[in-house]
Structure 1
């Protein structure tokens, strides 16, 4: 069973794979007509249609019913120029040319008695009013049609979810269509489980391939981003602290911090040894660099910037830390847990003993195969045994109680329950620093969403896409900063602030 969000993700991913929404709509509507034909119910059918894609499914069903020899009456809940989606509009245009087999009426111009009179001779009613887009109580113009549908003593079929039913909970804030059959698209929605005893529920294959669920796609990335509140203040959109760097490695924490800062959060703090602080400031003046006196991370180091842990939503630790950092990392884990903050743990921090016993901390771990072996003691099979590889990651994620993003040719992300694979990226991303970019992305998306598994999946996808775009420009000669340049461009195309969702 799927939640509404999961279904939306799968549909977005399917479109990215090349399965158009109009093709999915065609498959949905034809499933409805084929079911009625199988039951020998193709005669005179009334379709009550709303303004969204559920209505579009109904329009397709009308065409197929007509092709099987049936007559169709369409009752629109609104005026035809209020149909919202392009796919539904296209299919409605076709029906307007089918004057012999399809009659179209708008309920806005009709009294209830007129509607009842129009449908008095039909043998089937199809509910194509509102599907998964329902929010709260039904509007009066929909509620009146639901009442008319329910009063009819004939066979009733709902497309996807009965109008009035919340697809996630199965609850209704008002009346709902009491149908005999639901034909739900792709997979059953969670809310329908409440109706298994009194409604026949059929899952319809609409041509979505399994890859739309198995692999991270644009749908997985989009769910992280919400329309930004124009009245939000500094800090409302996420604050991240990156802890990293050492005498030799100043680049790694800088890449992480820059990636985070280009992901749409408000503030990025960067705690590093004093010896490399000015170097980083000169590279990236937009970063707030917090120097600590010791050359390596110690308890004293952590105490010196503890107030920035308190100010942050997410603490990312590990990039470029170097060796002999056990006590410092342990102290960060301890304080982070006490403050109920989120963590992203990478690189050298994954090699510490505390990382092996996180003790309930809310964290994403981002190991490559070598770090995974140090962390878990487990060797991973090659990619030709991806299922076995995935199962090991899932098992270890469950044992540790963290979300693991295993970096590789195919990334594997698991929270111990769910597993997602990511295949974005290129061979050029073996260059140093791309993993640090991923760490910064994970931290920023987690700061935005407070969702561990989803942030890890989205970060893997975006990081790989940035690598693909950089490789297209520069070939195998990319560097980590090339990825960072593309992160805001990718995210802009995911952010509903610029591309609001339509129902």
Structure 2
């Protein structure tokens, strides 16, 4: 299997919990794996576990418990904090079990000077490093910094859990790190453990499975939302995205729904450019919308100068909601796309679209099955495996990120393919696709295409599920918009 970033691995952990695989079970599996690796190194002897306050410490507690089942091992555990400071419920649970596990010595040592006085540093056959987890940034603080020094000067064989303590898996500067003889990392190789020169810190790296559910990685979940850009406390207007919605003329509800969805998703500024015949109707949806009337009653080439200027001043363009299929309109879309830095293309803007777009812009396409069939020039296969493969191939060949909407959404950029199962049959009501387009635009303004598209379908589907719980088959697209913030606030 290919390697994974530390942030993506944290997302997988959260997605596991979302589908019912608890962090406690994963910790149990990880700790058992550490115990097995320790026993494979020595058949008997003294093993010192040095644990911090996070889940790496929790893995170490589990490993110590497993190892203590054998009388051949003298098992000792140091927690570099008071147990009341353990950060997670799972780690606290496993620490409490050590009192019943036959551990030879269990010490809480939160003071650096007291750590230095501990007499067991030099006589351990193996030291298991569970001090700091993969989220470390910058220089380790005390007493963890002293613990790292003591591990490195011990002369013992060192096994690090998931990543050496102090080592930055994201490639940042390393001011201090454990120098491990062996690193046991879980589920998949981490990209940071493959960086040039990493073996100086990691020693031999072994990847061990811990029972992660396949769907936690393949299907989008709340863990993926954790990787989206978050609004900072000192943010200024526009920092969270400027979205331009280009649509309307044939219809006016669609661009308004897309725009309102973008605002609810967190975009700072949403401008709606629509033909003048529907501009007042769109503006009546909300005073929060900036509406720019375009000449004519349909999008047409005469609108290009105004639209090019608007595209320049916005982070992303959402093109298609309610535009209709007039030949002049479709010609205008074709001429606009090369000027877009980023664009979400949906609805009638997909009709007759020529791909790949001759530009360096990034594009997300959100077709349903009939629209996708027109883009392909062939029928969409019935079997899901074939459908998934076709979306992946299409995205790669056309240089886009494609979202094929359906009972299970398929999202692909040609390299990575994700699936989404949120949503319900009540969302066949008109306007839900426009809501998805607006959510996608808001996320795409400040995130990359694959993250934006994947998280958008998840948010849209969960918001739809919440609306369905309340409204049943009478739900409206506006009901979904009203629940967007409920979904996002659960993560942020």
- SS in structure 2 opposite 1:147? helix
| Matching residue of 2:190 | 189
TM-superposed deviation, 1:262: 0.9
| Matching residue of 1:152 | 154
TM-superposed deviation, 1:13: 0.6
Could you say if the C-alpha distance between residues 475 and 128 of structure 1 is closer, same or farther in structure 2, counting changes exceeding 3 Å?
A: same
C-alpha offsets along residues 199-253 of structure 1, whole Å, 9 cap, x if unaligned? 3322222221111111111111222141x32332222211111011123x11111
| Matching residue of 1:478 | 475
Larger deviation, residues 303-312 vs 482-491: 303-312
Is 1:200 matched up with 2:201?
A: no
Could you say if the C-alpha distance between residues 289 and 176 of structure 1 is closer, same or farther in structure 2, counting changes exceeding 3 Å?
A: same
| Matching residue of 1:239 | 242
Q: Within 5 A, what are the aligned runs for 1:275-294?
A: 275-294=277-296
* Aligned counterparts of 1:355 and 1:322: Cα–Cα separation in 2: 20
Could you say if the C-alpha distance between residues 225 and 493 of structure 1 is closer, same or farther in structure 2, counting changes exceeding 3 Å?
A: farther
Equivalent pair of 1:41/1:124 in contact (CA under 8 Å) = no
* Aligned counterparts of 1:436 and 1:474: Cα–Cα separation in 2: 19
Larger deviation, residues 70-79 vs 409-418: 70-79
Equivalent pair of 2:346/2:365 in contact (CA under 8 Å) = yes
C-alpha offsets along residues 157-186 of structure 1, whole Å, 9 cap, x if unaligned? 1110111222233x6513322222211111
Is 1:220 matched up with 2:221?
A: no
Q: 2:143 aligns with which of 137, 141, 166?
A: 141
Q: 2:332 aligns with which of 328, 334, 345?
A: 328
Is 1:462 matched up with 2:459?
A: yes
Is 1:94 matched up with 2:92?
A: no
* Aligned counterparts of 1:358 and 1:345: Cα–Cα separation in 2: 15
C-alpha offsets along residues 32-78 of structure 1, whole Å, 9 cap, x if unaligned? 11222344444321011112110111111111111223332222333
| Matching residue of 2:107 | 104
- SS in structure 1 opposite 2:446? helix
- SS in structure 1 opposite 2:193? helix
* Aligned counterparts of 1:111 and 1:353: Cα–Cα separation in 2: 70
TM-superposed deviation, 1:356: 4.6
| Matching residue of 1:405 | 403
Equivalent pair of 2:255/2:282 in contact (CA under 8 Å) = no
- SS in structure 1 opposite 2:393? helix
| Matching residue of 1:372 | 372
Equivalent pair of 2:423/2:465 in contact (CA under 8 Å) = yes
Is 1:267 matched up with 2:269?
A: yes
Could you say if the C-alpha distance between residues 406 and 229 of structure 1 is closer, same or farther in structure 2, counting changes exceeding 3 Å?
A: same
* Aligned counterparts of 1:214 and 1:352: Cα–Cα separation in 2: 31
TM-superposed deviation, 1:128: 0.4
- SS in structure 2 opposite 1:448? coil
Equivalent pair of 1:168/1:189 in contact (CA under 8 Å) = no
Equivalent pair of 1:216/1:420 in contact (CA under 8 Å) = yes
Equivalent pair of 2:261/2:435 in contact (CA under 8 Å) = yes
- SS in structure 1 opposite 2:213? coil
Is 1:445 matched up with 2:415?
A: no
Q: 1:76 aligns with which of 75, 79, 82?
A: 79
| Matching residue of 1:121 | 123
Q: Tell me, which stretches of 5 or more residues in structure 1 are unaligned?
A: 496-503
- SS in structure 2 opposite 1:177? coil
| Matching residue of 1:501 | none
Q: 2:422 aligns with which of 415, 421, 424?
A: 424
TM-superposed deviation, 1:327: 2.5
* Aligned counterparts of 2:240 and 2:103: Cα–Cα separation in 1: 56
Equivalent pair of 2:78/2:108 in contact (CA under 8 Å) = yes
* Aligned counterparts of 2:318 and 2:157: Cα–Cα separation in 1: 58
How does the TM-score come out when normalised to structure 2? 0.93
Count of aligned pairs: 484
Equivalent pair of 1:365/1:405 in contact (CA under 8 Å) = yes
| Matching residue of 2:491 | 494
TM-superposed deviation, 1:111: 4.6
| Matching residue of 1:388 | 386
* Aligned counterparts of 2:217 and 2:332: Cα–Cα separation in 1: 40
Could you say if the C-alpha distance between residues 107 and 284 of structure 1 is closer, same or farther in structure 2, counting changes exceeding 3 Å?
A: closer
* Aligned counterparts of 2:145 and 2:112: Cα–Cα separation in 1: 16
* Aligned counterparts of 1:100 and 1:28: Cα–Cα separation in 2: 19
Could you say if the C-alpha distance between residues 295 and 488 of structure 1 is closer, same or farther in structure 2, counting changes exceeding 3 Å?
A: same
Could you say if the C-alpha distance between residues 43 and 147 of structure 1 is closer, same or farther in structure 2, counting changes exceeding 3 Å?
A: same
